[in-house]
Structures are given as structure tokens and as C-alpha cells.
A and B are shown apart, each in its own frame.
Chain A
């Protein structure tokens, strides 16, 4: 079955700790994305990558970092510099940079 997996589904961390969210896809898509969603809000783009070993900042990249060493994987690190990291994080992928996006199930991060 092709799709996008994100793990874990729920994540709790103490303030000041870095945390890495996993995103894997087996759809053979070139483009991958990370979005943040706060309660009752829309999706805000954190980082995106259109090809392996290349990525660009989105609208709210401060306090986050990513890597794209493999086509299938696009992990997101939430650093201690992110002021308000508690949110729902969604990973997505698409065939190209402007085609339909397929979303993973999301990771709900709570920083205590």
C-alpha cells in the first residue's frame, strides 16, 4: 500500500528539548512538505523540498530544521528556539511541486 507515514501520532516533550518528527513516503513523489496547524486554524508551511538534498523555507521556518537525504524521507526537527511548538504537524508529498498533495496522518506535539 502506497502512502505517507508519520510517527509518532502523539508526542510529549519538555520545554527546551529538541524533537524530531518522522515523515516517510513510498509514493515515489519528488516534493515533500511540512505544515503546522493550530486549533481552528489553517495550514502554515514550515519547509518544503522539491528534490533530494534541497529544501526551502516556508512561511514559518524559524525554530525548525529539516533534511532531505533520501527521496522517501523528510524529517522535521523542532528546536528549543521555537517559541510555541505545541501544535498538529502534517507532512505531505506530491508528484511535482504543483500537483495535488497527499497528507500523512499527522503528529500532535505537546510541549510541557
Chain B
């Protein structure tokens, strides 16, 4: 079953923060986060494994709460380059295929 992402879209001013959530009805082993610019291929941001470890990529970080079966992506002090659609992909076990959420569109304005 597809994970649910929220919000579906968010508009930010440069320098503002945002949080994107990814929730699953199944127990999760891992969560992947990707960003896709319009008309381009998705680009990998980070993987979070079971254990609740928080990771970071520039000023983008993420957490994984396995009890809640949820991951959150934090965009801190957003830059114009952060605009795009963010997808989470979840796997129920090591080696399992990823199931992607519907995406969250982020627009950062000057």
C-alpha cells in the first residue's frame, strides 16, 4: 500500500522552514527521500533505516519514527534550489521493493 505524504503542496519564502510527512499503514524497515525537479529524474537525498536515526543533507534533514511508521523531512532555511517535488519511498523489509508516496510539491519564492 502506498505511503501517504502530507501536505500535498507547500509554498515558502526563501529562508522559511517546512516539514513534509510520510506515513505508512505497515511496519517499515527503511524510508528513502528523493527530490524531482520538473521534467527531470528524481535525485536521491537520504535513506533512513529502522532505528530512528536522523540524517542530514545540507540544510535538509529527516527523522524516522518506527513506532508511528512515519518519517518527516525538514527543510530548514529554504533556498530557491529546494523547489521541486519530494517523494518518500518505503520498504517493509531489507531487500524489498520501494513503494513511493504521491509526492509533496514545494515552491520556494524569493
Contact in complex: B32, A101 (CB < 8 Å): yes
Q: Which residue of A lies closest to B46 (CB)?
A: A100
- B98 nearest CB across to chain A (Å): 7
Main secondary structure of the interface of A (DSSP, over half): loop
A105 to B94: give the CA distance in the assembly, Å.
27
The A/B interface has a contact count, at CB < 8 Å, of: 54
A102 to B42: give the CA distance in the assembly, Å.
8
- For A43, A44, A48, which residue has the most chain B Cβ atoms within 10 angstroms? A43
Q: Which residue of B lies closest to A6 (CB)?
A: B41
- B42 nearest CB across to chain A (Å): 5
Tier of interface size on chain B: 20 to 34
Query: Which residues of A are at the interface with B, using a C-beta cutoff of 8 A?
Result: 33, 35, 41-45, 48, 50, 56, 58-59, 90, 96-106
**Extra inter-chain contacts (19) besides given A41-B103, A42-B101, A48-B97, CB under 8 Å:** A35-B100, A41-B102, A42-B2, A43-B100, A45-B98, A50-B95, A58-B97, A59-B99, A90-B41, A96-B95, A98-B91, A98-B95, A98-B96, A101-B34, A101-B44, A103-B41, A103-B42, A103-B43, A104-B41
